[in-house]
Amino acid sequence: MNYWLDLFTPYTWTRFRDHGATISGFRPRQRRTAYERIKPGDYLLCYLVKLSRWSGVLEVVSEAFEDSAPIFSDENDPFSIRFQVKPIVLLDFEYALPIEEPALWSNLSFTKSLIVGSVGWAQRAKMRQSLLQIGADDGAVLTKGLVEQGSVKKKYELDVADQRHITHRTVVRTESGEVEVEVPEREELSQFIADEAPIEVRDSIKVQAKVAQLGAALGFTIWVPSSDRVRILEIIPQEYRDKFVAILPLNYDLATMKTIENIDVIWLQRRAIMRAFEIEHTTAIYSGLLRMADLLAMQPRMNISLRIVAPADRREQVRREIVRPVFSVLEGGAMSEKCSFLSYDTINEILDQPNLAHMRESILRDYEEFFDAA
């Protein structure tokens, strides 16, 4: 008997169980492994990505076969390489075993040398692809732990992030069907050092506030992410605070909305996005570009003006990132054609213009810079 990793998202685990828990499916790229290596009597050890929990043991009871009847999605089911299985253990989300449980983590060969919660541990532990073989000793440890948990049913509380992963499935519809995606959360804010004055505001937040103020002065409604809004409003002149909105007046799918909500500053006119800005101070330039690329990939026909705002001494770094090949082959056109660069200094210079309230947003054209691959 051999053991194999069987990855599920919370959504596909629910679908699997709702359809009787008798068919486990894999992507066509795993056809060769499925047909040549996995045999009846082998065990599939089920792991919930996003929740980082072990959720079941399945015994393979058939040879591999191909079938696209909808089980794991309503249409164009991507998990068409399948096995009939017999459940040995099936655990609900709150009873699934967290990977960091000491009895598991410290006794599995692929995790015991890693620091719990360390960045990139899942890649190093090779927990990112189904149908990877799990060693006999590790398989025995996991099977024993899951069988015991199936009997005692110890509860492991789900935190807010777990609940979000369970209740919110983020998908993008493509010509070939639904694709489940994950929209990254905004980066955790840097912690102030202990002896830093509590009233000091990070430079990036100051610039974010200035870009927001500029938009408000030019007559736009302003969106900033909820995680930044309170601190930005504290340094925005009182006369502009009523220009900020707490709810985006837009109607897109969940994945698109989550991406838009994470953009640093958006200038809105009624129900339309007029300008979007990513402030790049000390974070990697490509974090903002990736957010914008995600948006353009999901909404290639969206006519949106994008800008990276960064210190002048990071101009060359911005240029190198914008003309990367990955940003040059977007369906709606190269990122270099849609996204320009504004330095911190130019934002200050524009804000210092007299009679700013009587100007149009086209003033940005006198200061922004577009790049090409040349």
Clarify whether residues 19 and 142 are in a common domain. yes
Is the residue at 207 inside a domain?
A: yes
Residue 196 lies inside a defined structural domain of this protein: no
- 149-156 contacts at long range (C-beta below 8 A, 24 or more positions apart): 149/89, 149/91, 149/95, 149/97, 150/89, 150/90, 150/91, 153/95, 154/95, 155/94, 155/95, 156/53, 156/94, 156/95, 156/96, 156/97, 156/98
- In this structure, the answer to whether residues 207 and 168 fall within a common structural domain is no
User: Is residue 160 situated within a structural domain?
Assistant: yes
Query: Which value, to the nearest 10 degrees, does the dihedral of the CA atoms of residues 126, 129, 132, 134 take?
Result: 50
**372 located within any domain:** no
Q: Are residues 337 and 216 in the same domain?
A: yes
The rounded distance, in Å, linking the Cα atoms of 335 and 327 is 5
pTM of the model: 0.60
At 32 the three-state DSSP class reads helix
pLDDT tens digits, the chain, 374 residues: what are they?
999 999 999 999 999 999 999 999 998 889 999 999 999 999 999 999 889 999 999 999 999 999 999 999 887 888 999 999 999 999 999 999 999 999 999 999 999 999 888 766 887 888 878 999 999 999 999 999 999 999 999 999 999 888 988 887 766 665 555 666 666 565 543 333 233 333 345 788 999 999 999 999 999 999 999 989 999 999 999 999 999 999 998 888 888 898 899 999 999 998 889 999 999 876 566 678 888 888 888 887 787 888 999 988 888 888 888 888 888 777 777 788 888 899 999 999 999 888 777 777 778 877 888 876 54
Whether residue 78 contacts residue 176, with contact meaning beta carbons closer than 8 Å, is answered with: no
Q: Which of 345, 347, 341, 344 is nearest to 371 (CA)?
A: 341
Same domain membership, residue 116 and residue 38 = yes
The answer to the question of residue 285 being in a domain is: yes
Q: Which domain holds residue 124?
A: 3-180
Same domain, 167 and 216: no
**211 within domain boundaries:** yes
